[in-house]
Amino acid sequence: MWLKIFGLDKQEIIQLLKTTGEERTALLKRAQEVKVKETGNKVYFRGLVEFSNICAKDCLYCGIRKGNDKVIRYDVSDEEILESCRFAWENRFASVVLQSGELSSPAFIKRVDDLLKKIKQISNGELGITLSCGEQSLETYRRWFESGAHRYLLRIESSNRELYYKIHPENETHSFEKRIEALENLKTAGYQVGTGVMIGLPFQTYEHLADDLLFFQKLDIDMCGMGPYLEHEDTPLYQYRHLLKTKQERFDLALNMIAVLRLLMPDINIAAATALQAIDPAGREKALAIGANVIMPNLTPTAYREEYQLYENKPCLDEDAELCRNCLEARIHMAGSEIGYGEWGDSKHFQSRK
Ligand code: 5AD
Ligand code: FES
């Protein structure tokens, strides 16, 4: 049954997500074969710059939520952001991800817009730019696209409305419908769209996770990033930690999710989420060996990293970009993959749709 690709139904997906032992080994192996066949054996780097932790939202799981007053808020200066992007370009990363808390003030929108133009300028237009700056209007998405962004990451977090409101307060700023609409607007604006969910949330069932995978398929996404949920002491969801699976179980389930998604959507880009590494030091490499093909080395200037802890045990807090790159390069080679230096590494799925 697990050799099938594309047309898995919900019950089959649930069964696959639950596999253990030899069947699981076969699933993970199959996912890797499908990846290599459909996308090649290259891993693409996206240099991640977490340029601001100021956020207008209050997601119940997130360490940088507005209501967490223990966090020291920062804005990385434009000069430092450009320096990180220059590092990415000079090291032939080919692409960067600008990520921040969610703001939608005119000043923020303009700031991102100006940054996009400058990044294009300093890299002769060569550096690809992904944004991960939350829900914005279609107009803003269009404006940023015109200024040079071409991919956008916006996780749905959970595609189940009820679960969505267990992990977000139900109000105007955290509307499930608006989030779906934002994903549709991103497609309309022309982006390669990436979404994803957290795995192992309190109240989350296998059925929810199977529906998440079917949701990705229905939305026809180009990219996906999903990782284990990690409890954070200074967030409201922490009170439900007694409901959680063990960290190892969440980790294993996250790998199963990646593998099943690879069978369902063979030619998309799947990221090896940083949260995997918060549980297992080799977590991201393990994901790259079972279906993932993108990794996001952290290029945030080291001084700010301490304050961008969405979850506890976030790795690489005190390593600089150079160290991260060297360490990753060695690990990826050890895992038997090549690094797609100098290539944008667009998802084959997106290319074939064009
Ligand atoms: N555990 C795991 N992932 C988290 N994120 C935010 N908080 C947590 C947490 N406590 C993820 C969300 C968000 C992404 C940037 O980080 O899925 O979309
Ligand atoms: Fe910032 Fe969720 S807490 S977007």
CATH classification at residue 124: 3.20.20.70
| Burial (CB count within 10 angstroms: exposed 0-12, middle 13-18, buried 19+), residue 65 | buried
> Is residue 39 within a helix (H) or strand (E), and if so which, with residue range?
helix 21-39
Residue 259 falls inside a structural domain: yes
CA angle 161, 227, 268 (to 5 degrees): 85
Alpha carbon of 158 to ligand 2 centroid (Å): 14
Residue 3 falls inside a structural domain: no
Q: Which two tokens stand for residue 136?
A: 């914005």
* Closest C-alpha among 329, 328, 326, 304 to residue 314: 304
Residue 4 falls inside a structural domain: no
Alpha carbon of 337 to ligand 2 centroid (Å): 34
* pTM beyond cutoff 0.90: yes
pLDDT for 306 equals: 87
pLDDT for 1 equals: 47
Alpha carbon of 326 to ligand 2 centroid (Å): 31
Residue 5 falls inside a structural domain: no
Which of the 8 DSSP states describes residue 130?
E
Domain boundaries, position 347: 10-353
Residue whose Cα lies nearest atom 13 of ligand 1: it is 155
Which of the 8 DSSP states describes residue 245?
P
Show the low-confidence residues of the chain (pLDDT under 50): 1-2
Site residues for ligand 2, CB cut-off 6 Å = 55, 57, 59, 62, 64-65, 101-102, 134
> Is residue 43 within a helix (H) or strand (E), and if so which, with residue range?
strand 42-45
pLDDT for 5 equals: 60
Residue 1 falls inside a structural domain: no
Give me the number of domains the chain comprises: 1
Residue 84 falls inside a structural domain: yes
Pairing relation of β-strands 198-199 and 192-195? unpaired
Phi, then psi, of 204 in degrees rounded to 5: -85, 135
Residue 141 falls inside a structural domain: yes
Residue 215 falls inside a structural domain: yes
Ligand 1 pocket: which of 65, 226, 309, 311 to mutate (most atoms <8 Å of CB)?
311
